[in-house]
Amino acid sequence: MTTTSVAKRRAIAAPTKAAAAPATPDIQTKGVSRREFLYYIWGASMALLLAESTGTIIWFSLPRFRAGEFGGVFTIDPATLPQKGTVPVVKPDARFWLSNTNEGLLALSVVCTHLGCLYKWVQANNRFECPCHGSKFLADGMKIKGLGPAPRNLDRFVITVTTPGGTTKTNTNGGPVKVEGATALTIDTGKKIKGWPEGSAPQV
CATH assignment at residue 93: 2.102.10.10
In a domain, 56, yes or no: no
Alpha-carbon span 196 to 151, nearest angstrom: 9
CA distances from 158 to 144, 192, 193 (A): 23, 7, 7
pLDDT band of 113, cuts 50, 70, 90: very high
In a domain, 202, yes or no: no
**What is the distance between the terminal CA atoms of the chain, rounded to a whole angstrom?**
137
- What's the mean pLDDT in 12-27? 51
In a domain, 133, yes or no: yes
Specify the range with the lowest mean pLDDT, choosing from 26-40, 78-92, 97-111: 26-40
In a domain, 64, yes or no: no
How much is the pLDDT for 107? 92
Alpha-carbon span 111 to 127, nearest angstrom: 15
Alpha-carbon span 135 to 147, nearest angstrom: 5
In a domain, 63, yes or no: no
39 has a pLDDT exceeding 60: yes
How much is the pLDDT for 139? 92
- What's the mean pLDDT in 33-60? 79
- What's the mean pLDDT in 161-189? 87
From start to end of 14-148, where are the E strands?
73-76, 89-91, 96-101, 104-109, 120-122, 127-129, 136-137
How much is the pLDDT for 149? 92
Provide the mean pLDDT of the chain. 79
In a domain, 161, yes or no: yes
Report helix, strand or coil for 17.
coil
- The 10s digit of each residue's pLDDT in 124-168 is 999 999 999 999 999 999 999 889 999 999 999 999 999 888 888
Range of the domain at 81: 73-193
Report the domain count for the chain.
1
Higher model confidence: residue 138 or residue 5?
138
Element (H, E) at 55: helix 34-61
